[in-house]
Structure formats: structure tokens, C-alpha cells
Structure 1
Amino acid sequence: MTQKFQPISLTIMSKEYKIACDPDERDTLVRSAQLLDQQMRKMRDTGKINGSDRIAVMAALNLSHELEIVKNQNALLSQQLGECLDHIRNKIENVLDNPQTE
């Protein structure tokens, strides 16, 4: 079954962008556009970066950096969880292999 894409309008830095979007991803895309708009406006308002293109690149770089940090944290947590589950599984196997009789 093919998903029908629907048009959506997003406003970033007072410019409207119309794109096709999977209806299931609409809310996430709207929130992402709002986050990008906030980041770009914050950079523009500092006055340190001039030009929409430069602001967009810097905002994208900052958001990509944040994403990489979260991905690395997620990978570390997944590894720690795996180690914890292995430890618990080993304890359970030891108990089952060596039952204590009273």
C-alpha cells in the first residue's frame, strides 16, 4: 500500500515553504520547522551572523551537532542496557542451573 503525500506549508524566517509530506510525519515535521525557525531567529537577533544563507547553515550545523550528541548518548545507553541485561540473564541462568534446595 502506498502512502499518499499531502502538501504542507511551513514558515521559516517569515518565508513560506510548501512541501509534500507523509501524513504520519506531519506533526513531527511541523515541530522540526518550528525548532529551525526558533534557532534561526535567535541567531539573527544576536546580530553576529549576517545573511539568511549563513544563518541557515549555522542553524543546521548546530542542530546536526545536537543530533550527533544525542545519538552518541543513545548508543552508550543501549550498550549499558545490553550489558545490564546480559548480567541479569547470567544470574538467572546460574540460579536455574544451580537450584538451592532446602
Structure 2
Amino acid sequence: MTEAVKVRILDQDFTVACPEDAKNELLQSADYVDRKMREIRKSGNVVGTDRVAVVAALNIAYELLSVQAENEQLADVRQRLARLDARISEAVDGSS
């Protein structure tokens, strides 16, 4: 079931439709976006709420893509380790 959840980002209230079981994640996400936007606004390098939002979105997207790239690299390492483990097991079993 979906419920309306009120979040506050950069001193503005937003009502967002959200599945009941995802409410906590939505609130955490809103808090994260709020903190990022406040950091950018505080730096003084970006003026205007729209621009702050766009820069925050770009920064968050960059963070996400970086984590995804790291996860892909880790997945590749895990696959290689699994293949090595299988080869070692075969060698040990074959020498018995």
C-alpha cells in the first residue's frame, strides 16, 4: 500500500507517495539530499535553489556511479577468485 510521506528539503516541504515498507529509506534519502544541498549552498559557490538542486543531483549521481563501478570491479574479482578456487579444488582432488 502507498502512503503520502512529508519530507523537508532545504526548508521546503514535499509530499511524496511511497510504499509503506520504503518509508524509512525515503526519509533517509530526503535527509541525505537535504544535507548535500545545504553543503553546496553553504559553500557559496552556487546561487539559487534550482542550481543548488542540480549540483547536488550531479554530485549524488557521481557518487552512485562511482560505487557502481567499484561494485562491478569487486564482482569481477570475486569471479576470478571463484575460478581460482575451483582450479585449486580440482588440483587438490586430482592429486589425492
**TM-score bracket, shorter-length normalisation:** over 0.9
The one-letter amino acid of 1:57's match is V
- 1:25 maps to 22
How far has the Cα of 1:49 moved from its partner? 0.7
The one-letter amino acid of 2:55's match is M
- 1:6 maps to 3
Q: Unaligned stretches of 5+ in structure 1? A: none
Q: Unaligned stretches of 5+ in structure 2? A: none
State the distance in 2 between where 1:24 and 1:88 align: 39
How far has the Cα of 1:22 moved from its partner? 1.1
Q: Structure 1 residue 78 and structure 2 residue 75: aligned?
A: yes
Q: Structure 1 residue 93 and structure 2 residue 95: aligned?
A: no
The one-letter amino acid of 1:89's match is A
State the distance in 2 between where 1:31 and 1:49 align: 24
Q: Give the 4+ runs in structure 1 shifted more than 4 A.
A: none
Considering only aligned residues, what root-mean-square deviation do their CA atoms show, in Å? Answer: 1.0
- 1:38 maps to 35
TM-score by length of 1: 0.89
The one-letter amino acid of 1:80's match is V
TM-score by length of 2: 0.94
Q: Structure 1 residue 51 and structure 2 residue 48: aligned?
A: yes
Residue 50 of structure 1 aligns to a residue whose secondary structure is coil
Q: More deviation in 44-53 or 72-81?
A: 44-53
**Corresponding pairs, count:** 96
